[in-house]
């Protein structure tokens, strides 16, 4: 689950998660994926930052490392993580006690990934 203000890459532009509509295609690394539906939740968050990108998500979010899914809680500062530009080094991970509204994109292809704030996520 990702923060409502997270930027999602569309096939022809960008939109924040709170403005994204279900039943449309969004961009993956080398293809497109179909958003079947979007669920909402309020949860504690974690923020992952690299030199070029940052994203706030739930503790249940999956990222990609060497094209393989990795649970956010398994990431460490110094790890390389997949982004739209290739790999980028994690420079900080911040655990927040703040509860925020989060969005979960349910994709038609359950194994699919998508681009959010420059990160490859699932």
pTM of the model: 0.92
**What's the pLDDT at 51?**
95
Q: Is the pLDDT of residue 47 over 80?
A: yes
Q: Is the pLDDT of residue 104 over 90?
A: yes
Q: What are phi and psi of 18, to 5 degrees?
A: -70, -15
Q: Is the pLDDT of residue 110 over 80?
A: no
Of 97 and 91, the structure prediction assigns the larger pLDDT to 91
Domains and CATH numbers, the chain: 2-121 (2.170.16.10)
**What's the pLDDT at 56?**
96
Q: Which residues, 6+ apart, have CB-to-CB distance to 48 below 8 Å?
A: 54, 55, 57, 63, 72, 75, 81, 90, 92, 93, 119
13 burial type by CB count under 10 A (0-12 exposed, 13-18 middle, 19+ buried) = exposed
Cβ atoms of 107 and 39 closer than 8 Å: no
């Amino acid at each position: 689950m990702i923060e409502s203000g997270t930027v999602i890459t569309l096939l022809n532009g960008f939109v924040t998660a709170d403005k994204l509509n279900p039943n449309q295609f969004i961009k993956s690394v080398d293809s497109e994926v179909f958003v079947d539906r979007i669920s909402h939740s309020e949860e504690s968050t974690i923020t992952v930052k690299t030199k070029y990108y940052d994203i706030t998500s739930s503790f249940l979010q999956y990222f990609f490392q060497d094209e393989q899914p990795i649970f956010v809680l398994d990431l460490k500062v110094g790890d390389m993580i997949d982004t739209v530009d290739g790999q980028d080094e994690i420079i900080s991970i911040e655990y927040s006690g703040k509860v925020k509204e989060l969005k979960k994109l349910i994709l038609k292809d359950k194994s699919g990934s998508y681009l959010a704030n420059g990160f490859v996520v699932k």
